[in-house]
A = this chain, B = another copy of it.
């Protein structure tokens, strides 16, 4: 048992930090520091830089652009990007589709797609959720009927994150509606978003953001070579994908960055008689969150260090549910601290067109984002396996029920 970072790991962190500092465009860093998501152009630009450096997909096999790194090294890169803050490589590409294709794809698929997935030459979105399905993913209804060398796909996907930016989509479709169990008879396809019959309709979330979409599939012709894995065994790919990389869900690095920024802000934030940061109650609440975050950081490292054993057993570590549950809670708690810090000026809505104004602001930028972020982050405990689903998984894993 050695509970400290080694000298090599510390040196690696310095190298990563220096490289990010040198290569991350200032506008990207500033936009992210303000608490906003990167623009499409920023995301692509940054991922291409990472790809050129060999750091876009370090967890992939070396032959597909990965690095022979330890889990700790990968954690350090990821944490440094989150803390800078810099964009992380697009999860749909790097953590979802890529590993699925590596595990289940044909050689041709790998050769053709993996470099484009890693470099973000092709932006993928995820077509899993459907209206009415929610956490019950396997109840999906989108149909794909084989006709010659195509599947004809009809149905609807929803909550499709950043579909408006995507070049391609990977999706689960039902190819055998007569299968005995609902998890059977599902297939995993990829499709070009420009295929006729695919329509994207924005969903505006309660904070006013356009992050998610509905995707309508109307007689969409998908070549059979776009099938990943075996027909009717798509649920294997889905399960593999969902159990993959849960450690990322804790987002400890990002939360630490948000906390650091909040401390700076709260030192100046007007609190009547004194800055907000000097209110002992606010500080206690902040410290309570920090302490839990420190514990979560340690838990993340423990899960990571255990990753090789887990991978060889091909079953998820129940502690990974800990990461999702607490990681979510802490991100939400931090968003509430921002709302507290903003006080009455938190009522000012963030204006997506604010850049165009020449007038003085009616509130500080961070104040106007506080409530929007709080509202937006309620999603964290809903998507990617809701907190309720995570607890069901844990109960199953150790109650055996």
Within 8 A of B (CB), among A29-76: none
Report B-chain residues with C-beta under 8 Å of the C-beta of A281. 280-281, 284
Cα–Cα distance between A280 and B283 once the two chains are bound (Å): 12
Q: Could you say which interface size class chain A belongs to?
A: under 10
Would you give the 0/1 interface string for A261-293, flagging 1 where the beta carbon is closer than 8 Å to chain B? 000000000000000000011001000000000
A280's closest neighbor in chain B, by CB? B280
Minimum distance in angstroms from A277 CB to a CB of chain B? 15
Cα–Cα distance between A280 and B281 once the two chains are bound (Å): 8
Minimum distance in angstroms from A230 CB to a CB of chain B? 41
Cα–Cα distance between A281 and B281 once the two chains are bound (Å): 7
Cα–Cα distance between A284 and B285 once the two chains are bound (Å): 12
Cα–Cα distance between A280 and B280 once the two chains are bound (Å): 7
Cα–Cα distance between A284 and B282 once the two chains are bound (Å): 12
Minimum distance in angstroms from A166 CB to a CB of chain B? 40
Report B-chain residues with C-beta under 8 Å of the C-beta of A280. 280-281
Cα–Cα distance between A286 and B284 once the two chains are bound (Å): 15
Minimum distance in angstroms from A241 CB to a CB of chain B? 34
Report B-chain residues with C-beta under 8 Å of the C-beta of A284. 281
A281's closest neighbor in chain B, by CB? B284
A279's closest neighbor in chain B, by CB? B280
Minimum distance in angstroms from A397 CB to a CB of chain B? 23
Would you give the 0/1 interface string for A100-121, flagging 1 where the beta carbon is closer than 8 Å to chain B? 0000000000000000000000
Cα–Cα distance between A284 and B284 once the two chains are bound (Å): 11
Minimum distance in angstroms from A197 CB to a CB of chain B? 42
Within 8 A of B (CB), among A88-147: none
Minimum distance in angstroms from A290 CB to a CB of chain B? 16
Cα–Cα distance between A85 and B283 once the two chains are bound (Å): 38
Cα–Cα distance between A68 and B281 once the two chains are bound (Å): 49
Would you give the 0/1 interface string for A199-241, flagging 1 where the beta carbon is closer than 8 Å to chain B? 0000000000000000000000000000000000000000000
Q: Would you give 4 A-B contacts (Cβ < 8 Å), ordered by A? A: A280-B280, A280-B281, A281-B281, A281-B284
The 4 closest A-B pairs by CB, nearest first: A280-B280, A281-B284, A280-B281, A281-B281
